[in-house]
Chains A and B, each alone.
Chain A
């Protein structure tokens, strides 16, 4: 399967714990996005990368969230000191281009539940 891969599919954690998610984009896709989605809402933009450079981080994202994309390949999203409000589906998407006008290819997401 050469699509976008996300791991784990599900994560249950206790409040205050740290969690890390991984996204493997389609090979050679330059852009990689992270979104968060809660029930009944559209995907909310968190951050995105052009190759290894993090170009923008949403103002809604607290300092507890950090993302990396070393070497411009896979990406990780870490949430420190999780809160119940962090419970959501975390979606990763990649695109081949550089101009924000290309089709997004999504992974299946990581469902986070914070107890």
Chain B
């Protein structure tokens, strides 16, 4: 099983739609979770951290399910500017080290 798995998409949705992405992780000891956004030919940038209680930032909601080892990102009222690749990031716990590991990303295209 891969450390971090995401549905690669692409997700093609109309403006105003609600879209959800899921990500699963293999290391049950992982403690830190994030969603990053990457625009074409740009470096990744932090979208939001994911907390156990779930968190919301405007149109974006992130949730964590530790029992099932998955993280979700919900985008409401999609905008054209939301078109990007969304990367799930988890810190891998191994021998005291905690590197941050990325999933392959889920591509979103919001269509007018």
B102→A42 contact, CB < 8 A:
yes
What residues of A have a CB within 8 angstroms of the CB of B101 in the complex?
A: 45
Please tell me which one of the listed residues A42, A48, A103, A109 contacts residue B87 in the complex, with CB atoms under 8 A apart. A42
**B46 contacts the other chain (Cβ, under 8 Å)?**
yes
What residues of A have a CB within 8 angstroms of the CB of B97 in the complex?
A: 55-56
Closest to B103 in A: A42
Closest to B85 in A: A42
Given contacts A33-B100, A43-B102, contact A101 B44 (CB under 8 A): no
Q: Please report whether the interface of chain B is mostly helix, strand, loop or mixed according to DSSP.
A: strand
**A112 contacts the other chain (Cβ, under 8 Å)?**
no
A91→B91 contact, CB < 8 A:
no
- Please, what's the 1-or-0 string for B38-72, where 1 marks a CB less than 8 Å from any CB in chain A? 00000111100100000000000000000000000
B residues 59-95 near A (Cβ < 8 Å) are 85, 87, 89, 91, 94
Given contacts A55-B97, A56-B97, A100-B91, contact A41 B104 (CB under 8 A): yes
> Interface size bucket, B side?
20 to 34
A residues 57-115 near B (Cβ < 8 Å) are 91, 99-101, 103-104, 106-109
Please tell me which one of the listed residues B8, B46, B99, B105 contacts residue A48 in the complex, with CB atoms under 8 A apart. B99
**B18 contacts the other chain (Cβ, under 8 Å)?**
no
Alpha-carbon separation in the docked complex, A35 to B89 (Å): 13
A100→B43 contact, CB < 8 A:
no
Alpha-carbon separation in the docked complex, A107 to B87 (Å): 17
Alpha-carbon separation in the docked complex, A101 to B51 (Å): 11
Alpha-carbon separation in the docked complex, A41 to B97 (Å): 24
User: Which of A48, A101, A109 has the most B CB atoms < 10 Å from its CB?
Assistant: A101
